[in-house]
């Protein structure tokens, strides 16, 4: 073979040019990796959602919403806070300890925002006030609570606010044998154990903890329809009458006091972020309804009614651009 003996292996000894080329490549690779490692990472925006008891509606809907936000907004890290519900949720969002929260409308002052830094995303559905007792017990009317032990809801809950107002309007607030301030889970346990004669809870239909109790123990739901108008006169027209049908808990249907609830938000959240949260709240309504059927009531026409709170600009922009 010309210029090389047959079977001779090519000369692979490094030459100065080859050494310089390899060094340049290694330097470029090191520089690139160093730059990639030192490039600052964008931290996900934290969205803490203040909800309520794990067995109540706020938590079910809030957990589903957090799942949706984490899946569809890549720069967001959403999580759920277990709370006493409405009043505590308003305080957490107002003070910057949560970014979103659920609250009953009657928690909010009638004439003004509850403080700087709070606005609304949507009216969600109505909470219905449950007055639950044993079916074989002596309590058939609200007035029968006189001389009885009653749980009126946890401190910081919307239940406690609505129940206290109702008892005052009915003139029985000072005639209870004992007033306990228990959350829904503890209220159910206390009624089951005979430590209270009845309990109040405000929530969307059905409330899991109440449904579980009614499935185990014969229960009665006390009709409160006669007290809707007195509440409206004494406080404001936020209260309406709604039915608890037999389909909710398998009991006799009754009329009770209902109050709208809202998803509220820190007013300083970026407009585009709140727009996206509002968009997903509406577009993923069916998924939220899988978590709890009350979420199926979400719709843009009713969502914009959030008196006394103004809609966040991001939420308002969504509704304006998606008029039916």
3-class SS string, 128-170: EEEEEEECCCCCCCHHHHCCCEEECCCCCCHHHHHHHHHHHHH
In the chain, pLDDT over 70 holds for what percent of residues? 85
Q: Which CATH number fits domain 45-125+261-321: 3.40.50.150, 3.40.190.10, 3.40.718.10, 2.40.30.10?
A: 3.40.190.10
Do the domains 45-125+261-321 and 127-260 sit in the same CATH topology, yes or no? yes
Over pLDDT 90: what percentage of the chain? Answer: 80
Residue scoring higher pLDDT (107 or 236): 107
Distance (Å, whole) CA 266 – CA 114: 12
Domain ranges of the chain: 45-125+261-321, 127-260
Q: pLDDT value at position 13?
A: 54
Higher pLDDT, 307 or 46: 46
- The average confidence (pLDDT) of the chain is 89
State the fold for domain 127-260.
D-Maltodextrin-Binding Protein; domain 2 (3.40.190)
The stretch 263-267 carries a mean pLDDT of: 96
| pLDDT for residue 28 | 53
Measured from the Cβ of residue 35, the count of other Cβ atoms closer than 10 Å reads: 9
Q: What is the mean pLDDT of residues 301-305?
A: 95
Beta-bridged to residue 100, according to DSSP, are: 49, 265
Q: Is 89 helix (H, G, I), strand (E, B) or coil?
A: helix
Residue 1's pLDDT band (cuts 50, 70, 90): very low
- pLDDT of 172 reads 97
Q: What interhelical angle do 57-72 and 271-283 show, nearest 10?
A: 110
How much is the pLDDT for 236?
A: 83
238-274 in b/e form (b: 16+ CB < 10 A) is bbebbebeeebbebeebbbbbbbbbbbbbbebeeebb
Q: How far apart are CA 280 and CA 66, in angstroms?
A: 11
Q: Which tens digits make up the pLDDT trace of 7-34?
A: 444 455 555 555 555 445 454 545 444 4
What distance lies between CA 138 and its chain's CA centroid? 35
Taking a C-beta distance cutoff of 8 angstroms, is the pair 197, 131 a contact? no
Residue 47: what pLDDT? 98
Strands (DSSP E) along the chain, which ranges?
45-50, 76-81, 100-104, 118-134, 149-151, 178-180, 198-203, 219-221, 240-244, 254-266
């Amino acid at each position: 073979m010309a210029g090389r003996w047959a079977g001779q292996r090519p000369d692979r000894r490094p030459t100065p040019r080859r050494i310089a080329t390899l060094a340049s490549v290694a330097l470029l690779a090191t520089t690139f990796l160093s730059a990639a490692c030192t490039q600052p990472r964008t931290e996900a925006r934290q969205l803490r959602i203040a909800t309520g008891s794990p067995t109540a509606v706020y938590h079910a809907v809030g957990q589903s919403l957090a799942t949706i936000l984490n899946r569809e907004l890549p720069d967001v890290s959403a999580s759920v806070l277990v709370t006493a519900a409405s009043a505590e949720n308003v305080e957490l969002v107002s003070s910057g300890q949560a970014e979103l929260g659920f609250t009953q409308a009657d928690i909010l002052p009638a004439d003004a925002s509850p403080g700087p830094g709070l606005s609304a995303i949507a009216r969600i559905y109505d909470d219905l006030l449950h007055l639950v007792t044993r079916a074989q017990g002596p309590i058939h009317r609200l007035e029968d609570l006189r001389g009885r032990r009653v749980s009126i809801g946890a401190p910081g809950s919307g239940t406690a606010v609505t129940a206290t107002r109702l008892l005052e309007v009915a003139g029985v607030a000072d005639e209870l044998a004992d007033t306990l301030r228990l959350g829904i889970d503890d209220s159910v346990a206390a009624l089951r154990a005979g430590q209270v004669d009845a309990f109040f809870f405000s929530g969307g239909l059905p409330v899991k903890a109440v449904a579980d109790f009614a499935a185990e123990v014969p229960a009665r739901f006390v009709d409160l329809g006669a007290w809707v108008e007195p509440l409206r006169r004494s406080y404001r027209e936020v209260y309406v009458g709604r039915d608890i049908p037999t389909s909710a808990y398998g009991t006799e249907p009754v009329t009770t006091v209902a109050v709208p609830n809202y998803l509220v938000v820190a007013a300083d959240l970026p407009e585009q972020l709140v727009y996206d949260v509002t968009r997903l709240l509406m577009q993923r309504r069916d998924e939220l309804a899988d978590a709890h059927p009350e979420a199926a009531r979400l719709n843009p026409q009713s969502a914009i009614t959030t008196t006394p709170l103004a809609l966040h600009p991001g939420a308002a922009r969504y509704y304006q651009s998606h008029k039916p």
